[in-house]
Structure 1
Amino acid sequence: MEIKFSKYQGLGNDFILIDNRHSSEPMVTPEQAMQMCDRHFGIGADGVIFALPGTDNTDYTMRIYNSDGSEPEMCGNGIRCLAQFIADLEQTEQINKSYRIHTLAGVITPQLQSNGLVTVDMGKPQLEAAKIPTTLCAPEDKVINQNLEVAGQSWLVTCVSMGNPHCITFVTDSDRISLEQIGSQFEHHPAFPQRTNTEFIQVVRSDYLKMRVWERGAGITLACGTGACASVVAGVLTGQSERKCTVELPGGCLQIEWSETDGRVYMTGPAKQVFVGNLWIN
């Protein structure tokens, strides 16, 4: 089967975008997506994103397969790339254009800005343990500065769901964290029944955070939009950051605001097309 695709990246978090508007189901399987994401034998990407028809009065539906074939609820950098991809498909005026996109984490609304960035209303964070989900405390309680044993070390963690699970820990120097050794141990810890994304945050200033991330289903990536959002929320909950922050990731910076007015989290960052092509897959 020949697949036409576009490659986009948001701060180095890269995705294969597929025009799937003709069908309500992804046109490739998780196994085929894994082949496409392979950086030696395929195109290379952190995931494959499908632009499907909208449902329940939305403009489009987003589905995504990670590079390991798993399907996350949502992806922050990915939905910015999807918004830019849709605008490119429609060939319409892109300035201040917004879309209502149905995801497994609910309806998300990205808006294309005049400066080439995309602002996304990421919705309200979920803080109760049962909604993350995690067994670190009682189901109705918030998980703030809880002890978690990983790799023979005790970590203080705060957990947040941005439609997908995040475990955030604040460290003195994020560059010294051995993600290759401990990232998978966090992801697969028994306290997280659906696995978890993990963010290691260094507070440079109360309005500037430095982040490294291990993404569930993708491993080490250059950026994670939902992780940046969750980290600012965790920073506010633990008294370490302001509600409006720059979050520096290995791939660049995101602007994150947890609004005190409406309780919603807003993310602003880039999304750029890298190349387009055709791929034959089995």
Structure 2
Amino acid sequence: MKLTVLMDNNTYIDQYYLGEPALSIYIEDGEENILFDTGYSEAFISNAEKMQIDLGKLTYIVLSHGHNDHTRGLPFLWERYNLDGVKLVAHPSVFLSKRYMGLDVGAPFSRQDCLAHGLQIVDGHEPVQITERLTFLGEIPRVTVFESKAPVGECVDTGKGDFLLDDSALSYEGREGLFLVTGCSHSGICNIVLQALEMSEQEKINGIIGGFHLLKTDQQLTETIRFLEKHTTGMLFPCHCVSLSAKLEIMKALPVTEVGVGLQMEVR
């Protein structure tokens, strides 16, 4: 599996791509070309073009959750490319209207909009097998006691707190072990790890790239680091919604690599 970061908060020196507080990762596995999240604007498309990645050849689009820093770029994509027949894997709650601190933070499109632009929606409430080795984990059980269970804003449709039940991730079962691709980990990065391990015969995670949603140096971070020390063996690539102070704390205990737009890696 080959990964290319099309959008992140961070960019590298002397690599002149666009960055924004958002996430998008292009994945190639066998004959499948998968776009994991679509950033906040059309900037990820510009970056892909500079990297000579043809997003017109996508076979899957996967949305980690419904927040607009992961979904707002999708309409720009269907304005630029014909997406007829492309499979869209997402939890049903991705399409709920979401508000946080008075702002609209949900996806700027409906299920009907996606269908109208030729996308084939695959229900991601349960796990979805994308390739022989790559799986969308579906709704993540909230198991750990130390990860936040508080709502993030509210669902306008229901008027109730938004517990981000749509938040999920990808798990790749390679020869060297499990490798996870996360969006924001609102469901808890440790809960995601537990779900991936539960669904496989592996005992540990060999690597993780994506947002861990760790912004403070608090007890949750301490417990998360302790958990990851126990359950991971490879490199961590925390990005997007992981603060500098959190990364520094993680680096004291675990191997961490900087992530930025243009990062490419092969996972075996």
What range describes the TM-score normalised by the shorter chain of this pair? under 0.3
Greater share of helix: 2
Greater share of strand: 1
**TM-score (norm. length: structure 2):** 0.26
Pick the structure with greater CA Rg: 1
